[in-house]
Amino acid sequence: MSESKLRTQSMDFAVAIINLVKQLKEKRESIISNQIGRSGTSIGANIREAQYAHGKADFIAKLQIALKEANETGYWLELLFKTDYITEEQYHALNSACTSIRVMLISSINTAKGNAN
């Protein structure tokens, strides 16, 4: 998996999350918007940090943090959908992008660990 593709997709996802947070703030939703804003933008930040990791273990650790943040973001997206803050279309588009990033992260982590099958 190309790391530049992962960086690009995580940046695009962060932009979509920031736009979602703006939309949620207009609806006066602040609890989940703060949480998803942090987790959704942290994915790309940790991927970017991994670029300059201090060795293989640090690289893997940064990608694992990004994976955890992506998983948390998926939870907040589902909660926003189930509480009618976002439409089904929004949910599917954002969740699909988040899932794609998680798949790439898992692949990158496995490759870095030498466990790729």
pLDDT, tens only, 74-114:
999 999 999 999 999 999 999 999 999 999 999 999 999 99
Residues of the chain above pLDDT 90, percent: 93
Domain chopping of the chain, boundaries: 3-113
pLDDT exceeds 60 at position 2: no
| pTM summary value | 0.92
Residue pair 114/15 in contact (Cβ under 8 Å)? The answer is no
Other beta carbons within 10 angstroms of residue 93's beta carbon come to 14
CA pair distance 32, 24, nearest whole angstrom? 9
DSSP assignment of 22-88, as one string? Answer: HHHHHTT--HHHHHHHHHHHHHHHHHHHHTT-SSHHHHHHHHHHHHHHHHHHHHHHHHHHHTTSS-H
CA pair distance 61, 31, nearest whole angstrom? 28
* Fold of the domain spanning 3-113: de novo design (two linked rop proteins) (1.20.1440)
**What pLDDT, on the 0 to 100 scale, is given for residue 66?**
98
Write the DSSP symbol of residue 94: H
CA pair distance 77, 86, nearest whole angstrom? 8
pLDDT exceeds 60 at position 117: no
